Amino acid sequence: MLEGRRTNPGGVIKVACPIHMSREALAPLMKEFLRRFPDLRVEIETYASGWDQEPREDVDVFFKLRAPKDSLRRVRPYPGTVRGLFASHEYVKAAGTPKNPDDLAAHSCIGSGVWKLNRGEKAATPTIAFRVVSSDPTVNMKLAVEGLGIVILPLYMAKRPEVRQALVPILPDWSPEPITLCALFFDPSRLTPKVQVLLDFLTEYLGTDRDPRLPNLPAKGFFTDPSLPPTSGPAAF
């Protein structure tokens, strides 16, 4: 009976994650997950990725885009997202192209937090007064396509068929800080079966060629090494 609960756990598993993750990764995988584990029910609680919410005891698995502060939680890393700077052809034609990160201060930018850019060993944190403050990459992508300004987007979003012809890379030699992802869970002795099967299931997909976020492209170049530590600033999944 115990072995049955381990291989086919039941009950409710409560997951908290950024809104964008729930839309782009969890929702597309739920049908397959629940097909494999028919006795499980899933409760998804979402939060804004720019809000540094701390885990609660009533949440089984808490996905964070920042380094956790709660040492009582176990952490399981997942591949995060590689990102780039993009703008529309319309915007570039009207406003020109920045030549270096400091030029971004004179441009219309959309996003939130501090933009940390790297080129090899060089790093830059340009001072930006955002035209629109938003931590939602879907919103940012739509505003960029409409010509409102420069945004940081996950590469997988910028390569989607419906937008890749509308956007051009900005400062392609400079890379925004990638966003890593981790799952937090309580582990007083060992993983509970329902948490174990969810974490293992997601490992099969996130950051692989089967990742539902990919626009029918190989995963190489789109995701980070999960052994890297989570970033510490506001980010978008």
| 4 pLDDT higher than 60 | no
Judging by DSSP bridges, how do beta strands 122-124 and 117-119 pair with one another?
antiparallel
Where residue 58 falls among pLDDT bands split at 50, 70, 90? confident
Beta bridge mates, 151: 86, 110
> Residue 55 and residue 69: Cα distance in Å, rounded?
9
Domains and CATH numbers, the chain: 2-81+178-205 (3.40.190.10), 83-176 (3.40.190.290)
CA angle 58, 62, 68 (to 5 degrees): 115
| 74 pLDDT higher than 50 | yes
| Amino acid occupying residue 76 | R
| 231 pLDDT higher than 60 | no
pLDDT in tens, 132-173: 999 899 999 999 999 999 999 999 999 999 899 999 999 999
